[in-house]
Amino acid sequence: MQIRLEPKPYATAEADALVTYVFEKDDKFDGALGEINRAMDGRLASLAQGGEISGRSLELVLLHFPKGIASQRLLLVGAGKPGKFSPADLRKIAGTALRHLKSRGVRSFVFLAREGEHGPAAAQATVEGLIAADFESDKYRSDRKNREIQSVSLAGFNGGLDANLEAAIQHGKAIAESQNFARDLINEPSNRLTPRMLAAKAEEMARGAGLGIEILDERKIAELKMGALIGVAQGSVEPPRVIVVRYEPQMPKPGGPVLGLIGKAVTFDTGGISIKPANNMEKMKYDMGGGATMLGAMRALAELKPSISVVAVVPATENMPGGRAQKPGDVQVAMSGKTIEVINTDAEGRLILADAIFYARKLGCTHLIDAATLTGAIEVALANVHVGAFGTPREYLDKFLDSTKAAGEKMWPMPIDDEYQEMIKSHIADIRNTGSGKGGGAITAAWFLKEFAEDTPWVHLDIASTCWVDEGRPWLAKGPTGVAIRSIVDFALKM
């Protein structure tokens, strides 16, 4: 799909469709929409009068052969109340329009921004919405449809200089294409994405993007004494990998911050000896979503070039039962030297992250963000609406939350008070890998990670319920969402 600025006035631009949006207000047909209404002899206004064009959020009205417009169709998308409108809405509107038109075989359209929200930030959000909406999960379907949007041109945007808009378009492309790169990885079934295959894909991405990469194999992992990761991996015939990807700015500041991005990549989580029920187990192919998120963020950062160093550390393994698998009650020694009583082998994400977080600090990371499909409990707390965001110190978490707002991703701050730390104390070892009390499962999991982040500024994102959606949305296919990448990239660029 090509995205470019439309050089002609929107009314004379020839495409399969012209897309714009309508607010839920009495004087709907002002500005450009007023022009269109007049060219169409007031037909839009009469449709509004009859209630067919209400402006209700994401309402779709498709008209054919609109008078006075060179494009063959006019698609009006509801934009809701004008007061609350933001670039986040443009992302959804553009994405919804794309999916609607694509399903009807349309191949090109002009997207017309309305007066008001039409600067570079709006252009970037529109591009992000278009590219993310274009993603499908039908790679392995022989009957997949060949429907393709070949080109979208943007009209009505105004950044003062066209150069600003061009830069915003490139920025949006880098981010959304990286989101789709991560979504492709998340979609892959575990027989087509083992830890070794994930490492190979990361290597290919890093070489293409000009990033540094190092893959730690099982020998190196043993040498480094990553006992918590090894404990999880030992049940599988597939060896683990730790993927380390590096971005260096052109002029690194000596003693400057180094951001560590740690992502859980369990390429399949059976639960291990604490085995999961068969129902829905196939979903556990996406238990590498945190790792994919960080690889996607690195891919975008390689293009957007932040001024700080960034290192991604992605521990990759399967979690399998087997003759050599670790068992409930086993004690493992993490790389940091802390001893862990493994109460439940299905709480494996925190184990592999323990060593990865510690290793990232060893590599010199001064600030950390981790992302993981860590707990079912986060779905109980926040459903599939918000990502659970934990972190210390609070100011560091708050800075990160500012980026989530800028990126239009819903995340909610979760508590991490000391009382929860009590719940992961063990009689046998330093800590246990599940909470002892009832409830607070996402918080005790976060506390487990904090035991390895210690005082290094750290944010933990539990994406278990947001990294994958079982139902499609008008602007996004069902399946992997690519959530958190936009926020992490925004944060790294502002750091």
Residues annotated catalytic, as ranges: 276, 350
Could you say whether residue 462 binds ligand BES (CB under 6 A)?
no
Joined together, the tokens standing for residue 62 give 């498709």
Binding-site size for ligand BES (CB under 6 A) equals 15
Instruction: Give the residue, chosen from 464, 477, 483, 485, that forms a contact with ligand BES under the rule CB under 6 A.
Output: 464
C-beta of 76 vs 464, nearer to ligand BES: 464
C-beta of 443 vs 464, nearer to ligand BES: 464
DSSP conformational letter for 113: P
What is the rounded distance in angstroms from the CA atom of residue 476 to the CA atom of residue 478?
A: 6
Can you give the three-state secondary structure of 397-455, one letter per residue?
Answer: HHHHHHHHHHHCCCEEECCCCHHHHHCCECCCCCEECCCCCCCCHHHHHHHHHHHHHCC
Could you say whether residue 261 binds ligand BES (CB under 6 A)?
no
Q: 313 Cβ partners below 8 Å, 6+ apart?
A: 242, 243, 244, 260, 261, 262, 263, 294, 356, 357, 359, 360, 363
> What residues from 349 to 378 belong to the interface with ligand BES (CB under 6 A)?
349, 373-377
- 341 interface partner picked from ligand BES, Zn ion, none, CB below 5 to 8 A per type: none
Could you say whether residue 287 binds ligand BES (CB under 6 A)?
yes
Name the one range near Zn ion by CB under 5 A: 158-166, 185-193, 280-288, 323-331.
Answer: 280-288
- 74 interface partner picked from ligand BES, Zn ion, none, CB below 5 to 8 A per type: none
- 177 interface partner picked from ligand BES, Zn ion, none, CB below 5 to 8 A per type: none
What is the rounded distance in angstroms from the CA atom of residue 100 to the CA atom of residue 103?
A: 5
Could you say whether residue 347 binds ligand BES (CB under 6 A)?
yes
- What DSSP line would sit under 342-385, residue for residue? -S-TT--HHHHHHHHHHHHHHTT-SEEEEEE---THHHHHHTTT
Residues 340-379 vs Zn ion: string with x where CB under 5 A? ------x-xx------------------------------
Could you say whether residue 270 binds ligand BES (CB under 6 A)?
no
Q: 264 Cβ partners below 8 Å, 6+ apart?
A: 287, 288, 289, 290, 291, 315, 349, 352, 353, 370, 371, 372, 373, 374
Least distance (Å) between residue 13 CB and ligand BES: 45
Helix or strand run (H / E) with residue 290: helix 289-304
Least distance (Å) between residue 316 CB and ligand BES: 14
- 377 interface partner picked from Zn ion, ligand BES, none, CB below 5 to 8 A per type: ligand BES
Residue 171 in contact with residue 162, Cβ under 8 Å? no
Instruction: Give the residue, chosen from 128, 269, 341, 490, that forms a contact with ligand BES under the rule CB under 6 A.
Output: 269
C-beta of 218 vs 348, nearer to Zn ion: 348
Looking up tokens 């929107």 gives: 10
Could you say whether residue 441 binds ligand BES (CB under 6 A)?
yes
Nearest to 97 by CA among 87, 82, 108, 81: 108
C-beta of 123 vs 377, nearer to ligand BES: 377
**Cα-based torsion angle of the residue sequence 246, 249, 252, 256 in order, rounded to the nearest 10 degrees:** -70
Alpha helices in 63-119 (DSSP H): 87-102
Residue 482 in contact with residue 175, Cβ under 8 Å? no
Least distance (Å) between residue 465 CB and ligand BES: 7
Q: In a 3-state reduction of DSSP, which class is residue 335?
A: coil
Joined together, the tokens standing for residue 393 give 């110190």
Instruction: Give the residue, chosen from 287, 370, 409, 490, that forms a contact with Zn ion under the rule CB under 5 A.
Output: 287
- 382 interface partner picked from ligand BES, Zn ion, none, CB below 5 to 8 A per type: none
Residue 460 in contact with residue 377, Cβ under 8 Å? no
Least distance (Å) between residue 325 CB and ligand BES: 15
Least distance (Å) between residue 295 CB and ligand BES: 18
Q: Which parts of this chain interact with ligand BES (CB under 6 A)?
A: 269, 287, 344, 346-349, 373-377, 434, 441, 464
Q: Which parts of this chain interact with Zn ion (CB under 5 A)?
A: 266, 269, 287, 346, 348-349
